[in-house]
Amino acid sequence: MKIKTKEDRRDRIKYRIRKRVRGTEARPRLTVYRSVAHVYVQVVDDMTGRTIASASSLEPKTSAAFPTQARGGNIAGAQAIGKTIAQRLLEKGVTRVVFDRNGFLYHGRVKAVADAAREAGLEF
Protein backbone atom coordinates (compact mmCIF):
# COMPACT_ATOMS: atom_id res chain seq x y z
CA MET A 1 0.00 0.00 0.00
CA LYS A 2 1.53 3.27 -1.08
CA ILE A 3 0.98 6.29 1.09
CA LYS A 4 -0.31 9.14 -1.05
CA THR A 5 -2.63 10.96 1.34
CA LYS A 6 -3.07 11.47 5.07
CA GLU A 7 -5.98 9.01 4.99
CA ASP A 8 -3.70 6.34 3.47
CA ARG A 9 -1.25 6.89 6.33
CA ARG A 10 -4.03 6.66 8.93
CA ASP A 11 -5.38 3.48 7.33
CA ARG A 12 -1.95 1.88 7.45
CA ILE A 13 -1.57 2.74 11.15
CA LYS A 14 -5.14 1.55 11.81
CA TYR A 15 -4.46 -1.88 10.30
CA ARG A 16 -1.25 -2.18 12.29
CA ILE A 17 -3.12 -1.41 15.52
CA ARG A 18 -5.99 -3.77 14.73
CA LYS A 19 -3.60 -6.70 14.33
CA ARG A 20 -2.92 -6.47 18.06
CA VAL A 21 -6.10 -5.00 19.51
CA ARG A 22 -9.13 -7.29 19.61
CA GLY A 23 -12.34 -6.86 21.55
CA THR A 24 -13.87 -9.77 23.43
CA GLU A 25 -17.06 -10.13 25.42
CA ALA A 26 -15.15 -9.53 28.66
CA ARG A 27 -13.11 -6.61 27.24
CA PRO A 28 -14.74 -5.02 24.19
CA ARG A 29 -12.90 -2.58 21.95
CA LEU A 30 -13.64 1.14 22.41
CA THR A 31 -12.93 2.81 19.09
CA VAL A 32 -12.82 6.55 18.39
CA TYR A 33 -13.35 8.36 15.11
CA ARG A 34 -12.95 12.10 14.83
CA SER A 35 -13.92 14.30 11.95
CA VAL A 36 -13.38 18.03 11.73
CA ALA A 37 -16.69 18.86 13.37
CA HIS A 38 -17.69 15.73 15.35
CA VAL A 39 -16.47 12.84 17.50
CA TYR A 40 -17.89 9.32 17.25
CA VAL A 41 -17.25 6.51 19.75
CA GLN A 42 -18.44 2.93 19.68
CA VAL A 43 -17.74 -0.18 21.70
CA VAL A 44 -17.49 -3.41 19.71
CA ASP A 45 -17.26 -7.09 20.62
CA ASP A 46 -15.10 -8.39 17.76
CA MET A 47 -15.80 -12.04 18.52
CA THR A 48 -19.49 -11.68 17.65
CA GLY A 49 -19.18 -8.54 15.50
CA ARG A 50 -21.72 -6.75 17.66
CA THR A 51 -21.76 -3.09 18.68
CA ILE A 52 -22.49 -2.88 22.40
CA ALA A 53 -22.86 0.89 22.75
CA SER A 54 -22.16 4.06 20.82
CA ALA A 55 -22.16 7.81 21.30
CA SER A 56 -21.52 10.76 19.05
CA SER A 57 -21.63 14.52 19.11
CA LEU A 58 -24.37 14.39 16.46
CA GLU A 59 -26.97 12.83 18.76
CA PRO A 60 -29.49 15.45 19.86
CA LYS A 61 -29.69 13.94 23.35
CA THR A 62 -25.91 14.12 23.78
CA SER A 63 -25.32 17.50 22.20
CA ALA A 64 -28.11 19.06 24.29
CA ALA A 65 -26.23 18.01 27.44
CA PHE A 66 -22.98 19.64 26.32
CA PRO A 67 -21.68 22.37 28.60
CA THR A 68 -21.34 25.86 27.14
CA GLN A 69 -18.62 26.29 24.52
CA ALA A 70 -18.56 22.50 23.97
CA ARG A 71 -19.21 20.94 20.59
CA GLY A 72 -17.92 17.92 18.72
CA GLY A 73 -14.97 19.72 17.23
CA ASN A 74 -13.27 20.71 20.48
CA ILE A 75 -11.82 19.04 23.56
CA ALA A 76 -14.73 19.94 25.85
CA GLY A 77 -17.14 18.15 23.52
CA ALA A 78 -14.85 15.13 23.33
CA GLN A 79 -14.77 14.95 27.13
CA ALA A 80 -18.57 14.98 27.21
CA ILE A 81 -18.67 12.10 24.72
CA GLY A 82 -16.17 10.13 26.83
CA LYS A 83 -18.35 10.52 29.93
CA THR A 84 -21.46 9.55 27.96
CA ILE A 85 -19.99 6.33 26.57
CA ALA A 86 -18.67 5.36 30.01
CA GLN A 87 -22.11 5.85 31.58
CA ARG A 88 -23.78 3.77 28.85
CA LEU A 89 -21.28 0.96 29.32
CA LEU A 90 -21.53 0.96 33.10
CA GLU A 91 -25.32 0.65 32.77
CA LYS A 92 -24.76 -2.49 30.69
CA GLY A 93 -22.28 -3.90 33.21
CA VAL A 94 -19.09 -3.38 31.18
CA THR A 95 -16.21 -1.91 33.20
CA ARG A 96 -13.11 -2.96 31.24
CA VAL A 97 -12.38 -2.13 27.60
CA VAL A 98 -9.50 -2.09 25.13
CA PHE A 99 -8.83 1.35 23.62
CA ASP A 100 -8.49 1.64 19.84
CA ARG A 101 -7.37 5.07 18.67
CA ASN A 102 -8.24 4.07 15.09
CA GLY A 103 -5.03 5.38 13.52
CA PHE A 104 -5.29 8.84 15.06
CA LEU A 105 -2.55 10.23 17.28
CA TYR A 106 -3.20 9.89 21.01
CA HIS A 107 -3.47 13.62 21.43
CA GLY A 108 -6.14 16.30 21.68
CA ARG A 109 -9.71 15.06 21.24
CA VAL A 110 -8.77 11.37 21.14
CA LYS A 111 -6.92 11.69 24.44
CA ALA A 112 -9.78 13.74 25.91
CA VAL A 113 -12.27 10.96 25.14
CA ALA A 114 -10.01 8.36 26.76
CA ASP A 115 -9.29 10.43 29.87
CA ALA A 116 -12.96 11.30 30.39
CA ALA A 117 -13.98 7.65 30.04
CA ARG A 118 -11.36 6.65 32.61
CA GLU A 119 -12.52 9.33 35.04
CA ALA A 120 -16.12 8.14 34.63
CA GLY A 121 -15.19 4.61 35.70
CA LEU A 122 -13.92 2.59 32.72
CA GLU A 123 -10.68 0.64 33.07
CA PHE A 124 -8.13 0.49 30.24
- Give yes or no for residue 1 having a pLDDT over 80: no
- Judge whether 1 lies within some domain: no
CA torsion through residues 95, 75, 103, 33, sign: positive
Dihedrals phi, psi of 123, to nearest 5 degrees:
-110, 125
Query: Per the structure, how many domains does the chain have?
Result: 1
User: Cβ contacts of residue 22 below 8 Å, gap of 6+?
Assistant: 29, 46, 47, 98
DSSP state of 105: -
Is position 63 within any domain? Answer: yes
Per-residue model confidence as pLDDT tens digits over 2-33:
899 999 999 999 999 999 999 988 999 999 99
pLDDT at 72: 86
Q: For residue 67, give its domain range.
A: 6-119
Q: Classify burial at 11, counting beta carbons within 10 Å of its beta carbon; exposed 0-12, middle 13-18, buried 19 or more.
A: middle
- The CATH code of the domain that includes 30 is 3.30.420.100
Q: Where are the alpha helices (DSSP H) in the chain?
A: 6-20, 60-64, 75-91, 109-119
Mean pLDDT across 82-107: 96
Residue 115 lies in a domain: yes
In a domain, 124, yes or no: no
To the question of pTM greater than 0.85 for the whole model, the response is: yes
Is 58 a member of any domain? yes
How many residues are given for the chain?
124
Residue 73 within a domain: yes
pLDDT in tens, 37-89: 999 999 999 999 999 999 999 999 888 878 888 888 999 999 999 999 999 99
